[in-house]
């Protein structure tokens, strides 16, 4: 009898335990409810990763310790939350995002997009479909991390992408009011911490990055070690950061010189009016993600067909696609002798093509390819729709000449993970402690 009572007690205790939330105050995972979901998602410019779960779900129970590690490692870089879909008050949230299985992980990027169901401008999530171990999720989330960092160059001829800018133009941006941060670094890619800081200080401080190879700029500021962070302030002049280059110290330092924080969100842009007259069959923006697609949709084109190809990474992908869609609608067909087709290649798959054409690895970037004549030309200059439309019209009318190239154009094999984005981390760096591993420049 005692054994039966004890067994019944254990069953009741287990059921109670399963109804408890997976994540507590000591964890870095934020439990989301209808009360705090909106502010947590909409009132941030950082990437937000959200797990929708049910406590009774075995897959969710196995994911929970990995999700805690993800949150700890990404603290201050990517916001990590969770919604318990078994809680009655949360069921509306789970229904809103059409959660049909557990666990479901969704990523909310900072860009506002039009919700097809409601017509409102909001943050439309994408599903994470990758492996559920901490390292894979951390690497993927960091590869999707937004960034406002600009790559500062000495010579205008080296400005070959939207992310690049000359030192003069960087310093002249709202010169009398806007402070600037300049990070001098010898790392091949921007660190997750500096990306996060660039988003934290959006519209309050311009963030730039100077590679060690930019010797003229390094000499101009007398930089002798890497990394070095300088603030160029209209009020305080040039100020060098002294101390440990971690998030807490850097954020406090940058806060001293940044413009005052404005918590008000900008108004949503009004929806575009539908065209009054139907358009001709619209061209598609094609993802050149296999050699077969690249071959059939571009390299085999004949006559006056020319491919307009953008190179982009994950963080700039949507903005780049929006630009390509705008170009295909705005470039004047009446002035062209060429027929433009539009597409894009992920930066991870572009290295062989960039080497063949001897193009810079800065992206997003754009170039044209005339496959039947083995000609190409890359765009160099300030990245804006207006400038790109003008450039393509000049290409189409023959006012800008293309250059010849030799060799086959093939995609590079995409890496299995995004280690090129987080080059400072080893495969064993996912920790279970409360100290983030990407907290330094």
Residue 426 has pLDDT above 50, yes or no: no
Q: Indicate whether 277 pLDDT > 90.
A: no
The pTM (predicted TM-score) of the whole model is 0.66
**Tens of pLDDT, residues 243-262:** 998 999 999 999 999 999 86
Reported as a single tens digit per residue, the pLDDT across 70-112 is 999 999 999 999 999 999 999 999 999 999 999 999 999 998 8
- The rounded mean pLDDT for the chain is 84
Quick one: pLDDT at residue 282? 64
Count CA atoms closer than 13 A to 195's CA, side-chain side. Answer: 22
Q: Please check the confidence at residue 118 and state whether its pLDDT lies above 80.
A: no
With contact defined as beta carbons under 8 Å apart, do 193 and 180 qualify?
no
Residue linked to tokens 């630009």: 323
Tens digits of residue pLDDT in 359-409: 888 888 999 999 989 999 999 887 888 889 888 888 887 778 888 998 899
- Residue 437: pLDDT band by 50, 70, 90 thresholds? low
Residue identified by tokens 């154009």 is 409
**Nearest by Cα to 150 from 205, 75, 83:** 205
Where is mean pLDDT largest: 160-164, 172-176, 255-259?
255-259
Retrieve residue 210's tokens. 């100077």
Q: Rounded to whole angstroms, how far apart are CA atoms 101 and 98?
A: 9
pLDDT of res. 414: 60
| Of the listed ranges 143-157, 178-192, 250-264, 415-429, the one predicted with least confidence | 415-429
- Judged against a pLDDT cut of 50, whether residue 20 lies above it is answered with yes
For residue 207, the model assigns a pLDDT of 98
User: What pLDDT sits at residue 172?
Assistant: 93
Checking if the pLDDT of 16 tops 60, the result is no
pLDDT, residue 333, reads 61
pLDDT value of position 17: 42
The secondary structure of the chain, three-state, reads: CHHHHHHHHHHHHHHHHHHCCCCCCCCCCEECCCCCHHHHHHCCCCCEEEEEECCCCHHHHHHHHHHHHHHHHCCCCCEEEEEECCCHHHHHHHHHCCCCCCCEEEEECCCCEECCCCCCEECCCEECCCCCCHHHHHHHHHHCCCCCCEEEECCHHHCCCCCEEEHHHHHHCCCCCCCEEEEEECCCCCCHHHHHHHHHCCCCCEEEEEECCCHHHHHHCCCCCCCEEEEEECCCEEEECCCCCEHHHHHHHHHHHCCCCCCCCCCCCCCCCCCCCCCCCCCCEEECCCHHHHHHHHHCCCCCEEEEEEEECCCCHHHHHHHHHHHHHHCCCCCCCCEEEEEEEEHHHCHHHHHHHCCCCCCCEEEEEEHHHCEEEECCCCCCHHHHHHHHHHHHHCCCCCEECCCCCCCCCCCCCCCCCCCCCCCCCCCCCCCCCCCEC
Q: Decide if pLDDT at 268 tops 60.
A: no
Question: 277: Cβ–Cβ under 8 A, 6 or more apart, which residues?
Answer: none
CB contact at 8 A, 30 and 40? yes
Q: Give me the mean pLDDT over the 301-311 stretch.
A: 91
Mean pLDDT for the stretch of residues 410-420:
58
What is the distance between the alpha carbons of residues 435 and 432, in angstroms, rounded to a whole number? 8
Tell me how far CA of residue 395 lies from CA of 243, 331, 364, 373, 386, in angstroms.
51, 11, 20, 14, 14
Percentage of residues of the chain with pLDDT beyond 70: 84
Domains present along the chain, CATH in parentheses: 30-144 (3.40.30.10), 150-256 (3.40.30.10), 286-404 (3.40.30.10)
pLDDT digits (tens, 9 = 90+) for 22-63: 899 999 999 999 999 999 998 999 999 999 999 999 999 999
């Amino acid at each position: 009898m005692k054994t039966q009572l004890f067994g019944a007690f254990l069953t009741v205790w287990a059921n109670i335990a399963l109804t408890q939330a997976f994540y507590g105050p000591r964890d870095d995972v934020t439990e989301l409810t209808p009360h705090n979901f909106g502010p947590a998602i909409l009132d941030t410019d950082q990437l937000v990763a959200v797990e929708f779960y049910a406590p009774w779900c075995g897959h969710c129970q196995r994911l929970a310790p990995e999700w805690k590690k993800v949150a700890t490692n990404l603290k201050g870089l990517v916001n990590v939350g969770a919604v318990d879909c078994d809680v009655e008050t949360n069921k509306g949230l789970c229904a809103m995002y059409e959660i049909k299985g557990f666990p479901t992980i969704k990523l909310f990027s900072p860009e506002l997009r039009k919700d097809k169901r409601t017509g409102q401008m909001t943050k439309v999530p994408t599903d994470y479909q990758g492996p559920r171990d901490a390292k894979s999720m951390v690497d993927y989330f960091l590869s999707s991390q937004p960034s406002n960092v600009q790559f500062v160059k000495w010579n205008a001829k080296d400005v070959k992408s939207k992310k690049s800018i000359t030192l003069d133009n960087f310093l002249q941006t709202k010169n009398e009011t806007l402070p600037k941060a300049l990070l001098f670094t010898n790392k091949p890619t921007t660190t997750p911490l500096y990306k996060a800081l660039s988003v934290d200080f959006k519209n309050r401080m311009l963030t730039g990055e100077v590679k060690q190879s930019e010797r003229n700029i390094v000499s101009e500021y007398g930089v002798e070690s890497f990394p070095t962070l300088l603030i160029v302030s209209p009020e305080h002049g040039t100020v060098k950061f002294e101390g440990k280059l971690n998030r807490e110290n850097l954020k406090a330092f940058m806060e001293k010189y940044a413009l005052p924080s404005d918590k008000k969100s900008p108004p949503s842009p009004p929806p575009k009016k539908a065209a009054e007259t139907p358009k001709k069959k619209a061209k598609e923006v094609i993802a050149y993600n296999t050699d077969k697609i690249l071959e059939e949709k571009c390299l085999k084109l004949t006559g006056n067909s020319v491919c307009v190809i953008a190179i982009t990474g994950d963080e700039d992908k949507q903005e780049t696609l929006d630009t390509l869609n705008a170009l295909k609608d705005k470039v004047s067909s009446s002035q062209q002798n060429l027929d433009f087709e539009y597409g894009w290649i992920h930066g991870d798959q572009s290295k062989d093509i960039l080497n063949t054409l001897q193009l810079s690895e800065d992206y997003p970037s754009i170039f044209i390819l005339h496959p039947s004549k083995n000609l190409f030309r890359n765009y160099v200059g300030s990245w804006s729709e207006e400038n790109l439309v003008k450039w393509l019209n000049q290409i189409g009318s023959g006012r800008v000449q293309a250059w010849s190239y030799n060799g086959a154009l093939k995609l590079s094999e995409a890496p299995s993970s995004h280690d090129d984005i987080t080059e400072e981390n080893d495969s064993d760096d996912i920790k279970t402690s409360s100290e983030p591993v990407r907290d330094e420049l």
